[in-house]
Amino acid sequence: MLPLRSYGLLFPAEMGIFAVLALPLLLFGISGVIYIYQSVRWLLSKSAVQNKVVVITDAISGLGKECSRVFHTGGARLVLCGRTWEKLEALYDALINVADPSVTYAPKLILLDITDINCIRDVAKEILNCYGCVDILINNASMKVKGAVQSISLELDKKIMDANYFGPITLTKAILPNMISRRTGQIVLINSIQGKIGIPFRAAYAASKHAAVGFFDCLRAEMEEYDISVSTVNPTFILAEVHAAVAYGVHPVEVAEEVLRTVSSKKQEVLMANPIPRAAVYIRTFFPELFFAIVASGIREKQKTEEEN
């Protein structure tokens, strides 16, 4: 009679050894597939913006610089906007020095103060004159403020609304006719998770971000008939330093790469948040009373701590 081994049967000890050897190989294979998938997706994202005219507002900010870098290396024809000419020139030099000039375009530079509403339409004409059209408009400019409602002046409230709401929508409205006439284009709003939930001591900022979400949600529906995409990217707070430690914030590099993927996939809305702030958005949506109670409790605890100190 043939032994069990001759019939291809394994004893428990041999099965255990096989499992130990197979698991690392399986994990290695899965990791390889994920890596290849992400690499292919990244390359496709870059190819999707090649030769496209891409306008980035506040290109001299931390996130603006990273967006400029990823779109520039992707072969986009960049129009970079910012408030300071010297910083725009420094960004121009940085991009030119790190990219292959045979496969990239030299960026165009435009002075733009997004809070100066009266000048935005004239600046939009300058932007359109660069290449005659705009394929992708990235509204990146933003202004933050922190403080109790009673301590923020109405003038500052208005300034925040100009920077975060009226400025972006004024520029968008000035660029839209060009896109509508060509029946193509994409508008990206880099907003904030605070456009979804209100956080204490940031009333003016949260209000402006809520307003922007409302406007661009409506715009998305209206532009569908013209084949114009509208995307909103909502990160938690963006770290000022690229190499800073992550708490609940996200790196500018991470956000810039997500913006590129969003442009490529034409995804309508993206929420970039760690589990806790992401959960807060869902609790606010489905269990508002619980959300308000948690926020109020946090304020009371903070006040108690300050009084004890």
CB 134 within 8 A of CB 178: yes
- CA-wise closest residue to 189 among 252, 146, 235, 241: 235
- CA-wise closest residue to 72 among 44, 39, 94: 94
Per-residue DSSP letter, 106: P
Indicate the burial class of 262 (C-beta count within 10 angstroms; 0-12, 13-18, 19 or more): buried
**101: its two tokens:** 């000039």
**155: how many CB neighbours lie within 10 A of its CB?**
8
Crossing angle of helices 252-265 and 62-73, rounded to 10°? 50
Of 205, 226, 248, 282, which residue is the catalytic one?
205
131 labelled catalytic:
no
**132: its two tokens:** 């005659």
**111: its two tokens:** 């002075």
| Catalytic residue set | 205
